[in-house]
Structures are given as C-alpha cells and as structure tokens.
Chain A
Amino acid sequence: MAPVSKRDKKEEEEGGNIFQNLDKTSVLQDARTFNDTPVNPRKCTPILTKILYLLNQGEQLGTTEATEAFFAMTKLFQSKNAVLRRMVYLGIKELSTLAEDVIIVTSSLTKDMTGKEDLYRAAAIRALCSITDATMLQTIERYMKQAIVDKNPSVASAALVSSLHMSKTAGDVVKRWVNEAQEAINSDNVMVQYHALGLLYHIRKTDRLAVNKLVAKLTRMNLKSPFAVCMLIRIACKQLEKDGGDYADSPLFDFVESCLRHKSETVTYEAAAALVNLRNTTARQVAPAVSVLQLFCSSSKPVLRFAAVRTLNKVATTHPPVVTSCNFDLENLITDSNRSIATLAITTLLKTGAESAVDRLMKQIASFVSEISDEFKIVVVQAIRALCLKFPRKHSTLMTFLSAMLRDEGGLEYKASIADTIITIIEDNPEAKEIGLAHLCEFIEDCEHVSLAVRILHLLGKEGPKTIQPSRYIRFIYNRVILEIAVIRAAAVSALAQFGALCPDLLPNILVLLARCQMDTDDEVRDRATYYYHLLKLQEKGLIFNYIVDPMQVCLVSLEKSLAQQVHDKVPTKFDLKSVPPAPVVSTTEDTAKETIPEGSISSAPNRIVPVQSTVSSYAEKLQGVPGLQSIPGTLFHVSEPIELTESETEYVVTCTKLTYPHHLVLQFECKNTLSDQLLENVRVQIEASEGYRIVKEIPIPKLPYNETHCAYVVLQFPEQLSLTVTNFGATLRFIVKDCDPSTGIPDADDGYDDDYMLEDVEISISDQIEKVSMDREAFDRAWEAASDEDFTESEDTFNLPGMSGLEQAVTKVVKFLALEPTGLTKVSERSSFTLCLPGMFRGGVEVLIRAKLAVANNGVSMQFTVRSAHSDIAELICAAVG
C-alpha cells in the first residue's frame, strides 16, 4: 500500500499545481504567443492566467516588462473568446498601475462597454475606470451616465462602483451623476440599490440637509437589499450622532429600532450593534438591542454567536445592568469551541458579574485558562485587572489567581501583562500592596525576562521602603545582585539605594551591601554602586532627596538636542538644565484612549514600542524645518491645543497653535482653502499686537491652492512686563485672490486682487506660558514645604466660583483653565472640600507650585488659591489671571 499511496501523492502534487515553479522570464517570453494571428484562446488563456497568477503571488514586474506584457495583451482583443476577453480585462486592471501608456486601450474598452455583449460590458466599465484619470473621465462621462441607469444590473453595479472609485480622483465629475444615481436607487436589483445608495451618500455626505432628506425618503421606501438597509442604518446613526442630544422622538432612531425586527439577520445585527454604539443612549433604549443579541447567543452559527457576544461585551462597559439578563446565555458560551467567543463571554461576565459571583467565575476560568493561547490569556488578565479595580475587596482571590498564572509557562507579553495588572492593583489599593509585592518578589526569583525583572526591581525600590517592614525585601533584591546579569544587577543596586535613602535604620546595612557591589565586574553596576554609596554616606537630606528619591525629570529627547547644540556652538556658556523642557506628562486620559484595540482580538505582532516623542519635541523638529524660525533663541517650551479661529464650514478655515519659547511666542496659523475656484497667494495673518508685544517676523504662505492646508507663522516677543502677557490679539487673514478653473486649478489671469477675512481674536492666556510637570502627591508636598523659605514668594487670593454644581465641576474647570496636570486626583465627588495641587514650570524654567483649596459653599464653590514661585511677578500674574 505504502508505495502506491506515495506515488498517488506525488502525482497529485505534480498535477495539483501546474503553476508551481513558474519562472517570470519564461512566462513573459511565452506572452509573445499573444501576437500570433489568429489568436489561439486555448494557448493564450493559460499564459495570461500564469502572468496574473505570478502577479498575485507577489512577483514584481519592472515598468518595461509590464508595459511589454500589457501591449502584447492588447492584441488579444481580436479574439472573440469570452473567457479570454474577460481575462484581458483582469490583466488591464492588474497592470494599469505598473505599465505605461495604458490609456491606449481606452477605445477598445469603450467599444466593449457600449457594445451588445452583456458579458463584456460590466467588466469593460470596471477595467476602463481603472485606467482613466480625471481629465479622461469627461470623455466617457456620457457613457458612464447611461451605464448607471442601464437595465442590466451587472452593468449598473459596475458603473456605480467604478464611479465611487473614481470619486477619489475626480470628485467633481462624479458629483454631476447624482441624478442617475438617484434613479438607480429605485432599481429592482438588490445590489444596484446598495451601490447606488453608497454612491449617493458619498456625493452628498458633506451636505447635512441633503443627507437628512435622503435618509427620510429611504426609510419610508422599504429597501429590498439587506446590505442597503445596513448602509442606511449607518447613515442614520451618523446623522443622529451629529444632531446630538435626545434620541427619544427622533424618526431616525425609530427607524433603527424598527430594523431590529427586520427579517434578515444581517440587518437585525447591524441595527443592534448600531444602537449599542450610539453615544448617550439610555439603558431602556439599548434593552431591545440586547434582547436581539441574546437570541443570537444561542445560534448555531459561530459567526452570529461571536458577533453577539462581542457586541454584548461593549454594552457591558456602557450599561452593565442591561446585560445581566444575558448572564445565563453567556455562561453557556464559556465552553464554546471557538476560543474567541469563550474569551469574550468570560470578559463580559467579569464586567457585569456581581461581587459574589467573582469566586465562582475565577474557578471556571482556572479550569479553562491552561487550554487557551497566550493572546487570549492576556485578554483574560485585562478583564481581571478591570475587576480588581471594581471590587477592591476581592483582591486576595484575584491576586492569588494572578500569581498562579504568573508561575505558569508563558511568553514575555503574557507575563508582562500579569505583572502590569499586579502593579496596577498595588497602586490602586494600598491594602493589596504587601501581598502584591510579595508575589512579585517571588516572581523575580525565577524570571527569565530581563525587562520585566528590571521593572519589578524599580517598583520594589519605589514602594518597598514605604511598607511596614522594608527589610524583608532587601534579601530578594540582594539575591538579584548575586545571581543575575549586569542589567538586572544595576537595577537591583538602584533599588537598594532607594531603601538606603528612605529607611534611615537600614542605612548601615545598605552601605555595606553597596560597598560590596563596588567590586562588581560590570562598569555600570560599579558606577551606580559608587555613586549611591557616596551620596548616602554624606547623609545629607537635600542631596539624597534630589538625586536618589526624586531625580530630575527632563525631556530626554530635548536634553540630547540641547547638549548637542551646546557642543556644536562651542560657546563657553554654562549649560542651563532649566532651559530643557520637563519630561512630557503622560496623562491618564491618554492611556484610556490608547485602548482602541478591540477586545477579543489577538495580535500577532508584539505591541510595537512607539518611540516616545512629546508633542513639544515633534513640533520643535517641525519648526526647525521652517526657514526663518530657526533663529529663535532657546528651545521650544510649550505647545497649546489648536484653536479654531473660523467656523469649521467657512470659505477659509484657520486654526491657530501657540508655540511658546522662553522669550518668544510663535503663532502657527494652519490655513485651508475650501473654494475650488480660487487660488490664494501671499496668505498671511495680520496680528494687532497688544501693548508690550513686538512682532519680530511674519512668514506668509506663498501659494494656497484649493483643498490644501499650509502654515503661516507670526513670531512675537513677549513683553518685559509679565502682567501684559495675558491678552487678546485681533487677527485678520490677508491674501491675494486669483480666480481659477476648478478642475485644473490654473488661474485665469495673472493678476489677482487683495482681499481679507476677519478671524476671531487670538487669546494668550496664562496656560500658554506654563508647562505641566508630573509629580506625585508626596513629592509635591515636599516641594511645597521646600518652597516656603525666603527664596520663594507666595501669592494668595480667595475666589468664589458661582454657578458650580459641585466640586468635580470646579476642579475640572480650574485644571482646564491652567492646563496643568493635577497630582493625586482621586474621587472628588464624595467629599465636601478638596485640595488641588498643580505643579508647573513657567517659561524660562521657573518652577511654579499652585495649591487650590476648594470647598462647597452655599451658592457655588469657594476657592483659596495659593501660588508659590521663585519669581514674585509670576506668582502674582497667575493669581491675577485666575480672577
């Protein structure tokens, strides 16, 4: 038997793939057969198929090769063989981007497109549109319009879809076909209807009224195509979102809801998902969608179950109580053979589950966790993390579970996500700290991932000294010094130094250990040990605090640049560290925004480490490229949020970004021209600088064609007198208009006329001059105490903030006004008074500490506002600006 089956197999392999081992050169050689007359379809079709197969396999053709093949292929138009002709169309589409002079086949394709053979027409249209550009499109416009309303559905669909593709390059031409598209939407064919709706919406989507009309009409029309209904649901939701506010008596909302009862599952699911994804829905509005999804949960089709549980997962984040009714169905899905479904079911249950159910669920997960792959384990770990934050009292159960998972086999990412979770729990829940640290200590005893060990050691250094019994961690850390590689040893030495700095009673022991580390074979470890040993030996509080416990945070990228500049300039000035902007603050809001990766998804590539570049340094780089802006002294210090100076739907759209340098202010105006029949030249923003400010330079935009965005700049010098810096500038956009042809963008005449356009005022506030600094609460308190001596001045005032409904609102408003990063901001709403601490850095590198004590008063919130700064003017300025 064996030899026979082997031969069979071999035969099969040989016969199985006649396309195996194809050689590009020989296939292209074969393409010469295309030139024979009469054309032999039996020979040519396989050759053409081979060419297309090679292209599909990712073979690269050079321009000459492609062009030669393309021209040989055009000979095949002589053949009447249907398959061959269709393959030629396919070939044209594939080669259109590679070969040159492809427009040569326009007339042949136009002939086929308008010919009698229905089989050719649709495909010819699609091939033709792939080789046509905006200017050529006008010559075939008449045929396209006819094709859109053709009674053959495949022709109409092809024309509609091609129009949509073309609208990317020739939007204006396609816009003229709106009447034809309108007619096609009434077609009996479901696909034509769907495509017509897609094109119609694409043409009209900028015009809200027209879209509203379209939707209103179609919702009454009862579209036949389920795809078209899905599309309509999406459009309706988009409109609902734009209108905002209340959905209660909106006909659009009623339409979406009515689609829940559509006979097609595709539509009902689309409607349910749309309702779930709509913002600001009430639980009652989501409930019908949830009951539809619940039905899907018990479907026999995995796709439907997956779709349902994934959407329920989303509901669980927004309206957890609504999903609880599905808990029973979800629990059945935990054992689903599709692991994505099972994992999603688990995470959904964890989100909605009550505190009492946690133990039971964890048991269920434990039975299942060993069977699933790392990617899904990570998803589960993330769900557990959310659970820990929700039920802090359950931390011991969850922590034990996590440490068990930590001991299992697993890749770096999986382990890192567990460690992350434990770290988050420790940070969030002081009760869990000791247990968490103990688990982590145990983990680093046997951890093969260097980066993870280093992170944990750093954490031990930060958190360990603050525990009741710091000495117990020393052993774990010192073990690392003895047993591990250099990188980990260095991290362990730094952690030891932290203990030495913060626990005076352990200091003698630490000194002994550090002294031993000075004998290390690695330079870095030795350097660190020596550095810390000598600092600690001095036993000087200030030094220890500034150089071990809370070392300075500067933006490393900027520091590197400044130092390079310093070396390059060879100026014998002293390097001023304060000129370097502080490290960018990663605010917690950004963190949540990053989690856009859908749950239940797995990713093959490890999360790419995005090089951390702050907005400041990216702007600094950009400005370096603008001629005329390099000469500004100092480094870029602060970048404001962009502010719109026009309504978003006007002729010219201008947004302003304020860039602060130590002594200069650069206003960047991003201008966009939305008029297709105008070319703007010499575009500049004229600023009416207020008293004290001096305009140093203006950089205009030489040319601003339609639909392009360019930047104009104005450089100003800050006034000497600080109180004048907070002000408003009047702004006007000035430019030369040249009327031009909308389709080509070439101006009609050489000379234009001057025109201007009023912009809204540019406001320069205090927040533009302060950069946020990240600091934890303790560090702030220490800095605050340190700032009480005579070097610092204090400015204090009391304000009444009327019309504030609560503390939370007041805090948000103050933080937003100053655009700083608050320290230790915790649940504000539960208290009646709150102290807000805002550390910052004024331009020029002056430290600013702001403390605002807020308390609920009879009518609003009262605030005691205190500023401490080394510079008295700054303190006064900030105080005054708040009032």
Chain B
Amino acid sequence: MEGLLLEPSLYTVKGIAILDNDGHRVLAKYYDPAVFPTSKEQRAFEKNLFNKTHRANAEIIMLDGLTCVYKSNVDLFFYVMGSSHENELILMSVLQCLYDSISQILRKNVEKRTIFENLEIVMLAMDEICDGGILLEADPTSVVQRVAIRTDDIPLGEQTVAQVLQSAKEQIKWSLLK
C-alpha cells in the first residue's frame, strides 16, 4: 500500500453506538453523512458488527472499512467507530471516556435497565463527548460534571424512594466490597 497520510482534521469519530445483548440499538449516532447515511444501512451495520463482536472479546475489529473499538459489560456493548486509517488509540480513549462516564453516571451499575432509567443523562454525556464527529472531551470526570448532575448531590427531595433505596444499597455494597 502506498503511503497514506492522514488529513489533519479534528473529525475523528465516525460513530458511537451502544447496543444491548440482542444487538438492538440502545443509542447510536453516526457523524459522517458519507458513512451509513440511512437508518437502514446503520441497522445493517450494527447487526453485522454485533454478530462479529458479541462472542469474541477482542476489543478491536475492522469492519466495512471502519475501525471499531468496543467494550462490553453485562448486557451492553459500547462501540466507537473511526476511519480505517485513524489512530486506534485515539478511538480507544473515546471509548474509554464513554464507558467511564456512563459508569460514573450509573454508579457502576452499567447495565441495560439502569441505562434506560438514566437515558437522558446518558444522551447528554454522549453529546458532551463527541460533537458532530469531533472529540469534545476525553476526560470522564469533566464529562460527568458537564452533564449537569454531580452523582452524589441530587437533593434527596428530588429522588424517588426507589432511587434512594437503590443508592443506599449501592453504598452498602461498595463499602462491603472495599
């Protein structure tokens, strides 16, 4: 292959996707209109991506001309896609940031149920990480700060009883684990 220098550009990320353990889309965003312009193509790609990745835990795959880095937890799969010539490590830091921010938002309960319970915050977090294909923030702490909730100081009054119980349970669990 002849020398292929990357065009210096901030447009690094082609897409971000979160799929559940059946390969259905929880959230997905594609930033390059040239890559999967229609919803149908996106679905097809996700299905394929899921089939190729849900068994082999290999972190990285090249599929349909895209470099995809991924990570899974319980019943969720997190993907970040970039051009096949993109620096894989940059994509990996995007993925890491995505996962860590969501993990902080969901207080380490990264699973399908909790992600749907906090979907609005997760949407905001995705928006803070990547804007139109440009990596906006790669530090999970800043991302969590910027999505308007600091995990511990939602006033008690605004939480539902279930949420309070949940967080209490969490705190006990974590103190035991320590």
Q: Which chain B residues (16-39) contact chain A, with CB distance < 8 Å? A: 25, 27-29, 39
Q: With a CB–CB cut-off of 8 A, which chain B residues contact A273?
A: 87
Knowing A231-B8, A277-B4, say if A338 contacts B60 (CB, 8 Å). yes
**Shortest CB distance B91–A (Å):** 8
**A161 & B134 in contact (Cβ 8 Å cutoff):** yes
- Report B-chain residues with C-beta under 8 Å of the C-beta of A603: 63-65
Binary CB contact string for chain A from 583 to 617 against chain B (1 if under 8 A, 0 otherwise): 00000000000011111111111000000000000
B148 contacts the other chain (Cβ, under 8 Å)?
yes
A601 with B10: CB separation less than 8 A: no
Q: Hey, which chain A residues are within 8 Å of B139, CB to CB?
A: 191
Chain B residues with CB under 8 Å of A235's CB are 8
In the bound assembly, the distance between CA atoms of A195 and B121 in angstroms comes to 24
A-B contact pairs, 8 of them (CB 8 A): A17-B116, A87-B123, A162-B131, A230-B90, A238-B7, A301-B92, A307-B88, A599-B1
A227 touches B90 (CB 8 A): yes
**In the complex, chain B residues 125-142 whose Cβ is within 8 Å of any chain A Cβ:** 127, 131-132, 134-139, 142
Give chain A residues whose Cβ lies under 8 Å from the Cβ of B63. 601-604
B89 x A198 contact (CB < 8 A): no
Kindly state whether residue A579 has any CB partner on chain B within 8 Å. no
| A56–B29 CB distance below 8 A | yes
CA distance A154 to B138 in the complex (A): 12
Q: Is the CB of A303 within 8 A of B87?
A: no
* B175 within 8 A of partner (CB): no
Evaluate contact between A165 and B3: CB separation under 8 angstroms.
no
A277 touches B5 (CB 8 A): yes
In the assembled complex, the Cα of A337 lies from the Cα of B96 at a distance in Å of 21
Q: Which of B84-117 contact A (CB under 8 A)?
A: 84-85, 87-90, 92-93, 112-113, 116-117
Chain A residues with CB under 8 Å of B90's CB are: 227, 230, 266, 270
Q: Cα distance A194–B120 when bound, in Å?
A: 28
CA distance A238 to B3 in the complex (A): 11
CA of A219 to CA of B102 in the docked complex: distance in angstroms?
Answer: 36
Quote the shortest CB–CB distance from A536 to chain B (angstroms): 48
- With CB as the reference atom, state the residue of chain B lying closest to A117: B148
Q: List residues of chain B with CB within 8 A of the CB of A60.
A: 39
B43 within 8 A of A: yes
Decide: A161 and B136 in contact? CB cutoff 8 A.
yes
CA distance A45 to B149 in the complex (A): 14
**A883 cross-chain contacts in B, Cβ below 8 A:** none
A201 to chain B, nearest CB (A): 6
Tell me, yes or no, whether A62 is within 8 Å of chain B by CB. Answer: no
Q: Is A90 an interface residue (CB 8 A)?
A: yes
Closest to A130 in B: B132
Known contacts A83-B124, A227-B138; A238/B5 CB under 8 A: yes
The answer to whether B89 touches A86 (Cβ under 8 A) is no
* Interchain nearest-CB distance for A792 vs B (Å): 42
Nearest A residue (CB) for B121: A83
Q: Which of A130-178 contact B (CB under 8 A)?
A: 153-154, 157-158, 161-162, 164-165
A764 partner residues in chain B, CB cutoff 8 A? none
Sample of 9 further A-B pairs with CB below 8 A, known A234-B8, A270-B90, A601-B62: A56-B25, A153-B142, A158-B131, A161-B131, A162-B131, A227-B138, A302-B58, A306-B59, A604-B63
Report if B119 contacts A (CB, 8 A).
yes
Binary B-proximity of A218-261 (CB < 8 A = 1, otherwise 0): 00000000010011001101100100000000000000000000
User: With A57-B25, A90-B127 in contact, do A18 and B84 touch (Cβ < 8 Å)?
Assistant: no
Measured between beta carbons, the chain B residues less than 8 angstroms from A602 are 52, 61-63
How many A-B residue contacts, CB cutoff 8 Å? 195
**A57-B25, A161-B134 known; A598-B1 Cβ under 8 A:** yes
Q: Which of B43, B120, B148 contacts A58 (CB 8 A)?
A: B43
Which of B27, B28, B45, B112 lies in contact with A604, CB distance below 8 A? B45
Q: Contact at A165–B132, with CB atoms within 8 Å?
A: yes
Nearest chain B residue, comparing its CB with the CB of A336 = B58
Cβ of B85 and Cβ of A237 under 8 Å apart? no
- B161 on the A face (CB < 8 A): no
Cβ of A851 within 8 Å of any chain B Cβ, yes or no, is: no
The residue in chain A whose Cβ has the minimal distance to the Cβ of B88 is A307
**B112 engages A157 (CB within 8 Å):** no
**Assembly CA distance A67 to B69 (angstroms):** 37
A687 contacts chain B at the CB level, 8 A cutoff: no
Which residues of A from 302 to 352 have beta carbons under 8 Å from B? 302-304, 306-307, 310, 314, 317-318, 337-341
Report the bound CA distance from A219 to B163 in whole Å. Answer: 51
User: Which of B1, B6, B10, B127 interacts with A164 by CB under 8 Å?
Assistant: B10
Report chain A residues within 8 Å CB of B119.
19, 49, 53
Is the pair A45, B48 in contact by a Cβ cutoff of 8 Å?
Answer: no
| Contact, CB under 8 Å: A230 / B60 | no
Q: Which chain B residue shows the least CB distance to A41?
A: B158
Asked if A361 is at the interface of the complex by the 8 Å CB criterion, the answer is no
Contact bitstring A755-771, B, C-beta under 8 A = 1, else 0: 00000000000000000
Partner of A119, one of B64, B88, B112, B148: B148
- Give every chain A residue within 8 A of B65 (Cβ-Cβ): 597-598, 601, 603
A58 near B42 with CB under 8 A, answer yes
Answer yes or no: A126 CB below 8 A from chain B CBs: yes
Pair B123/A52 contact, Cβ less than 8 Å: yes
Q: Is A818 in the interface zone, CB < 8 Å from B? A: no
A542 to chain B: which residues have CB within 8 Å?
none
CB pair A270 B87 closer than 8 Å: yes
Smallest Cβ distance from B157 to chain A, in angstroms?
12
- A306 CA to B88 CA, complexed, in Å: 8
Collect the chain A residues with CB atoms within 8 Å of residue B57's CB: 337
A230 close to B56 (CB less than 8 A): no
- Closest-by-CB residue of B relative to A276 is B3
Whether the pair A302, B149 counts as a contact (CB closer than 8 A) is: no
A241 to B142, CA, bound (A): 37
Q: How far is the CA of A122 from the CA of B85 in the complex (A)?
A: 31
B123–A604 touching, CB < 8 Å: no
B37 to chain A minimum Cβ distance, whole angstroms, is: 12
Q: Assuming A16-B113, A596-B1, A602-B62, is B124 touching A86 (CB within 8 A)?
A: yes
Within 8 Å of chain A (Cβ to Cβ): is B2? yes
**One of B59, B124, B136, B147 near A303 (C-beta < 8 A):** B59
With A154-B146, A340-B60 known as contacts, the answer to whether A265 contacts B89 (CB < 8 A) is yes
Query: Do residues A337 and B5 form an inter-chain contact, with CB atoms below 8 A?
Result: no
A195 touching B64 by the CB < 8 A rule?
no
> When chains A and B are docked, how far (Å) is the Cα of A274 from the Cα of B147?
36
Chain A residue numbers with a CB within 8 Å of B5 are: 234, 237-238, 241, 274, 277-278
A279 to chain B, nearest CB (A): 4
Q: Contacting B10 at CB < 8 Å: which of A17, A58, A195?
A: A195
In the bound assembly, the distance between CA atoms of A257 and B25 in angstroms comes to 43
A12 at the interface (CB under 8 A from B): yes
* Nearest CB on B from A243, distance (A): 13
Give me the 4 closest cross-chain CB pairs, A-B, nearest first.
Answer: A58-B39, A601-B62, A198-B10, A338-B58
Minimum CB distance partner of A19 in chain B: B116
Please measure, in the bound complex, the distance between the C-alpha atom of A303 and the C-alpha atom of B87, giving whole angstroms.
Answer: 10
